[in-house]
Chains A and B, each alone.
Chain A
Amino acid sequence: MIALGALLHVKYQSRSSLEITIAVLLPVVQATLAVYLFRAGGQPDRLLEAAVGAGLMGIWSSVLFGSGGAIQNQRWQGTLEMLILAPRSPALVILPITLATALTGTYAMVATLLWGRLLYGIPLDFADPFAFAVAVPGCVLALGMFGLLLAATFVLLPNANALANPLDYPIWLVSGMLVPVTALPGWTTPIAAVLPTTWGARAVREAATGAGPVWPSLGICLAISLGCLALGAAVMSRVERRARAAATLALA
């Protein structure tokens, strides 16, 4: 059921010309930004890392806006009620949507790398191509599960996007997606350590640049995400009940 749901939601999302165009155009801009920044910083040899980082940022954006936006879209379309009425745990109903957003995020990764190659001649020589090919889907899956926790928190709020918007930069920064930031204040380190985004980004970067072993990072990423999934499912059930008590499901 999760597979069917995810595929249908991907189909749904991909039929919006808005989504597709954003998914294709934004990576170009981000790749360009990353490339110029790295060049300006005098590190032209780390361009692959820049492109991969920009791609990761794209996946996270897609999940963040997708999870928050998906709930909102379901509300606007009037389909949220029909989803909640299904005789299933609400987590199982929403998970396909968040997975779909992560899957759509892979457009971003692929697009960024391709644009990087085309426009800036970034060599796509991954240190460990196989690991890369596994790490990216793994990261995507993990973020999809993390998305459920986000979605659960957003269901109760009528205009979820308010929270969604400010969250992309902090996550990009703290997780060290574009580049690991050593100069961050110490209190961010524990936060980064519990975010699946940090470990996922690490795994992907390690696979791309050979800076470290991939599997431990990927393993930690997936483990944390499974935790998020469990937490998200629990929160989802509680939140669904509260939404029914507070009548925010339809808000027509």
Chain B
Amino acid sequence: MSEYAIEAVGLHRTYRSRTGWSRPRRREVTAVRGVDLTVRQGELFGLLGPNGAGKTTTIKLLNTLLVPTAGTARVAGYDVVRQTREVRRRIGYVFGGDRGLYDRLSARDNLRYFAELYGVAPREQRRRTAELLDLVGLTGRENERVEGYSRGMRQRLHIARGLLHRPEVLFLDEPSIGVDPVAARELRQTVASLAANGTTVLLTTHYMAEADELCDRIAVIAGGRIRASGTPAELRRHAEGRQVLEVEAYGVTDRQLAEIHRLPGVREASLQVLGAVQLLTVQSAVGTDVQAEVLRVLAGIRLGRVLGRQPTLEDAYVAIVSATTTADEPTPEPAVAA
């Protein structure tokens, strides 16, 4: 058996759709174009990328829900296309969102059903269900119908379900999406302890902080391809040799942003909206002081805090993703960090 829990080589996935019915046109969208991945056993691996980058497609290619149009993948030592059932015995899949559970049944019934379905031994089912309900903190609410659950509770139930049959590899697709910060933190703790116990975890997310905190290694995917991969520290080096200027502003126009982009010494400039205020982030080479110029461009706009700092993983991510997008496709918006 190989030492790798997940090995993917050259994964491609194209979606074909038809539009219009009097003169149907076929459209082909390539969501994943040549992804190579290796994840060692027991590793907590993060797949980071903006919306539409191909994260969910990649995860579905790996967990046997989709068949790749080209390329191969092995999970837990078995080929995902030729030995599908063996793979399914050893993996768990958890995805975020509101769907995926039987709303009109209780949490316990949901778990009972899936335990049976996923081959948990009948004698063990009750114990395992109770154990997992406890692990995710749903004991006491397990007999209520899922339709009354909050998003966070549903997420926890999703995780419990994913763990029923003690999978070797767990796939988590954007697990903290729409979950409040407190619940998200508990979720992260659960995931971290799972990995500590030897389960291999592949996590997709577009929350930088989450990836930074949890993952042993991260791959940044954008436009269907892996753009960079390594440990968080290694990735941060993409932003090395840079310093970051952060300006809180109220009312920066696109024209001004474009002008800032054109200033000499500016590598990146991006604008985020955080509630009522905008956060302008300007990356420049270490030693180059662009602050004066930037402030000149922003003259007349009300400003808040201005500070210079070291780059974080998020800045590295922005650097990687923007380098991609200026090269090929139109810009996908980098997500606002949670």
Contact = CB atoms under 8 A, between A and B. Distances in A.
Interface string A2-29: 0011001001100110000000000000
A85 B104 contact: no
B199 interface: no
A78 B100 contact: yes
Interface residues of B, number: 33
Nearest to B69: A245
B67 A244 contact: yes
Contacts of B117: 1, 5, 83, 86, 88, 93
B88 interface: yes
A39 interface: no
B4 interface: no
B114 A82 contact: yes
B116 A1 contact: yes
Interface in A209-252: 241, 244-247, 249-250
A96 to B, nearest CB: 9
A162 B95 CA distance: 30
B88 A79 contact: no
A8 B109 contact: yes
A87 interface: yes
B59 to A, nearest CB: 11
Interface in A40-95: 76-79, 81-88, 93
B57 to A, nearest CB: 9
Contacts of B112: 4, 8
Contacts of A241: 67
A247 B15 contact: yes
Contact of B89 (A11, A76, A87): A87
B161 A82 contact: yes
B65 A244 contact: yes
Contacts of B101: 77-79
B67 A245 contact: yes
B335 interface: no
B338 interface: no
B85 interface: yes
Interface string B92-107: 0101011111111100
B135 interface: no
Given A11-B105, A247-B15, A77 B63 contact: no
B263 interface: no
B66 interface: yes
A59 B260 CA distance: 70
Contact of A85 (B86, B88, B105, B109): B88
B103 A77 contact: yes
B105 A87 contact: no
B160 to A, nearest CB: 13
A151 B113 CA distance: 20
B104 A82 contact: no
A82 B88 CA distance: 11
B65 A249 contact: yes
B198 interface: no
A164 to B, nearest CB: 21
Contacts of A87: 85-86, 88-89, 118-119
Residue from A11, A77, A247 with most neighbouring chain B CB atoms (10 Å): A247
Nearest to B97: A78
Nearest to A4: B116
Contacts of B322: none
B64 interface: yes
Given A78-B97, A85-B88, A12 B102 contact: yes
Nearest to A16: B104
A84 B98 CA distance: 19
Interface string B107-128: 0010011101111000000000
Interface in A86-129: 86-88, 93
Given A8-B109, A87-B85, A77 B99 contact: yes
Contacts of B161: 82
Given A11-B105, A78-B99, A82-B114, 7 more contacts: A77-B99, A77-B102, A78-B95, A88-B117, A88-B119, A244-B66, A247-B66
28 contacts: A4-B113, A5-B116, A5-B117, A8-B102, A8-B113, A11-B109, A12-B102, A12-B104, A76-B99, A77-B100, A77-B102, A78-B97, A78-B98, A78-B99, A79-B99, A81-B65, A82-B93, A82-B114, A82-B161, A85-B91, A86-B88, A87-B85, A87-B119, A88-B85, A241-B67, A245-B67, A247-B15, A247-B66
Q: Which 8 A-B pairs have the closest CB atoms?
A: A78-B99, A78-B100, A87-B89, A87-B88, A86-B117, A15-B104, A245-B67, A244-B67
